[in-house]
Structure formats: C-alpha cells, structure tokens
C-alpha cells in the first residue's frame, strides 16, 4: 500500500526546509551522546516510545549499549 504525498503550505514547506538545513550543519554525535540524549528525553517527556514529531535520524557510531 502506497501512501499519498504529504502536502504542505508554502510557509510550512519553507519552515521544514530551514529546519532540515540547520540540522544538517550539526556536528556528528560523540560517543555516548546518543544514550545521554535518549535518557534526557525520557526524563523530560515521561514516555517510553517517541512520537514521530520528536524523532530525528541518528547515525550510530557504535552498537547500542545493552
């Protein structure tokens, strides 16, 4: 099943593109930073599952800590 494309207003599209450009300029995550950010998110949001609006692509530099 293929979904329909998402339609944004011009202003929303420009806002999303500007956010994406800002995110692309961020430096890569340092070792342990991903785990720290997840812990802080869970402490503040009090959830165990991140809604899509809070999710961001993260490139793992190391395997997850178990």
Question: 27 lies in a domain?
Answer: yes
**Which residue segment(s) compose the domain that 17 sits in?**
10-48
Question: 5 lies in a domain?
Answer: no
Question: 33 lies in a domain?
Answer: yes
- Residue range 26-46, pLDDT digits in tens: 898 888 888 888 888 778 877
| Residue bearing the bigger pLDDT, 5 or 30 | 30
Domain count for the chain? 1
Question: 37 lies in a domain?
Answer: yes
pLDDT band at 1 (very low <50, low <70, confident <90, very high): very low
- Residue range 46-59, pLDDT digits in tens: 766 655 555 665 55
Please, which residues have CB within 8 angstroms of residue 42's CB and are 6 or more apart in sequence? 48
Question: 53 lies in a domain?
Answer: no
HSE (CB half, 13 Å, CA atoms) of 2?
1
Instruction: Give the pLDDT of residue 41.
Output: 79
Question: 20 lies in a domain?
Answer: yes
- Residue range 8-20, pLDDT digits in tens: 788 888 998 999 9
Q: Which of 3, 57, 60 is nearest to 32 (CA)?
A: 60
């Amino acid at each position: 099943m293929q979904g329909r494309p998402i339609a944004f207003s011009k202003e929303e599209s420009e806002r999303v593109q500007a956010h994406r450009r800002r995110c692309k300029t961020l430096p890569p995550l340092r070792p342990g930073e991903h785990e720290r950010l997840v812990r802080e998110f869970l402490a503040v949001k009090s959830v165990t599952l991140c809604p899509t609006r809070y999710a961001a692509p993260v490139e793992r530099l190391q395997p997850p800590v178990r």
